[in-house]
Amino acid sequence: MVPVSSLRHIEGFSAKRVAWLVEKIRREGVWDKPIAIDARHNLVMDGQHRMEAARALRLRRVPAVRFRYSEVRIWSLRPKQYGFDWREVTRRARSGDIYPYKTVKHAFPRALPRCELSLAELRR
């Protein structure tokens, strides 16, 4: 579990997708997938929309799986505009110069587990 306030984006997100996700989570009443984060800086590798949904839902903490960025394969969905490695993604995220929505993709060394946590639990 990590504080939502400690999470940082590496790329942009779709407000429409966040709104849809907020409604889905409210309707189901549970959080069912952890966010994948960089172990050193809490950079969100997978879960930009879930991070924003957590903020909109006023959650204090969310489940997360930590990975060392150096052990995660990354590539760009916009290779003509952006060539990068994990160091450059980290540098930009830490400086606030995040990539546009749908730029960075990750292949994790293990699958993210499912979970089922109540929203009340995540607000505490």
Task: Record the tokens describing residue 60, joined without a space.
Answer: 């204090």
pLDDT, position 111: 94
pLDDT, position 100: 95
> Per-residue pLDDT for 82 more than 90?
no
pLDDT, position 45: 98
pLDDT per residue over 85-123, tens digit each? 999 999 999 999 999 999 999 999 999 999 999 999 999
- Quick one: DSSP state of residue 59? -
Q: Name 64's bridge partners.
A: 35
pLDDT per residue over 29-78, tens digit each? 999 999 999 999 999 999 999 999 999 999 999 999 999 999 999 999 88
How far CA 53 is from CA of 15, 58, 61, 76, 121, in Å, comes to 10, 8, 12, 24, 16
- Give φ, ψ of 76 to 5 degrees: -105, 140
Q: Name 3's bridge partners.
A: 61
Q: Which residue has the tokens 């009443």?
A: 29
Phi-psi bin for 47: left (phi > 0), alpha (psi -120 to 50), beta? left
pLDDT, position 83: 80
The architecture that CATH gives domain 2-123 is Alpha-Beta Complex (3.90)
